[in-house]
Amino acid sequence: MSEVALRRILFLLLLALGLGLAALTRPLAPRVALALSPLTAPLPTLGHRLGQNLRAGLSALLERRDLYQEVRGLRDQVSALEMENRQLRLEVERLSRALEVRKAQAPGVVAVAPVVGEDLSGLYRRLLLGLGEQDGLRPGMPVTAPEGLVGLVVEVEARRALVRTLLDPESQVGVRPEKAPGRGIARGAPPDHLVAEFPPTVKVAPGDLLLTGTPLGLFPDGIPVGRVERVERVQGGLKQRAWVRPLVQLSLLEEVMVLRPL
């Protein structure tokens, strides 16, 4: 038997076997379909729901990311507003102090100047201001703070000014008791006092507040200077010497008010 004839016989046998199996399984097909139908019916529904859930989850994730970016933007805006609010509050406080000086000490406030440096040596007690000639400052201008007198501008550059404070040994200030007539001269006594000399007829005692007077003509009248701590007689009772602690604490000053010169 040839190989071709053998292949034909095998083909016919397989065809007959296939037709026989088809004839046998055809009556069972509807039953199998009916049996499997309840089991396979939920699959399309589950697929549809799974797709919807995935779409909803993806949408929620995108919305969450957009919301996070929006929240972060709002936080940045709040931070910027808080910083602006702090700056405005500091500006209001600065202007309030200037107004307080204008009302209580002198009407001629030229500038509010930041304190950018201080000479704490034993020989001099001076402050360096962050404003200068370009800001209207000139030598001879009095310098004050809400607490009281600070000193006098003695040197000026374009953007800097040097202030000789009350505590400087070269400083001289005309002073008077707040509640008694009479005047004297106060000089700096580093590191933290003034020494004021009065005629013996002037009534001055510990605890008295000293204000600027007019003998030297450098400062407006009536600016607080300091409080008397003790009084002693000198030169055989021809003078009174008062040790005075200034009201202004130089080391705590952050800004000062510069006044018009007399």
**Between 230 and 90, the higher pLDDT residue:** 230
pLDDT tens per residue across span 110-121: 899 999 998 766
Q: Is the pLDDT of residue 83 over 50?
A: yes
Mean pLDDT estimate for the chain: 80
Containing structural domain, residue 221? 172-251
Decide if 177 is inside a domain.
yes
**pTM of the model as a whole:** 0.61
Decide if 247 is inside a domain.
yes
Closest CA to 156 of 135, 174, 170: 135
Residue that is written with structure tokens 């501008």 in the block: 153
> Measured between alpha carbons, how far is residue 159 from residues 12, 133, 145 in Å?
113, 6, 20
DSSP letters, 161-194, are EEEEETTSTT-EEEEEETTS---EEEEEETTTEE
Decide if 124 is inside a domain.
no
**Between 103 and 136, the higher pLDDT residue:** 136
Residue that is written with structure tokens 């080391």 in the block: 251
Mean pLDDT calculated for residue range 154-158: 95
DSSP letters, 91-146, are HHHHHHHHHHHHHHT-S-EEEEEEEEEEE--SS--EEEES--GGGT--TT-EEEET
Decide if 39 is inside a domain.
no
pLDDT score of 90: 61
Q: Which of 37-41, 155-159, 173-177 has the lowest mean pLDDT?
A: 37-41
Alpha carbons 21 and 239: distance in angstroms, whole number: 141
Number of domains forming the structure of the chain: 1
The residues that bridge with 227 in the sheet, in sequence order, are: 209, 245
Mean pLDDT calculated for residue range 23-37: 51
Q: What is the CATH classification number for the domain harbouring 245?
A: 2.40.10.350
Decide if 60 is inside a domain.
no
Alpha carbons 45 and 18: distance in angstroms, whole number: 36
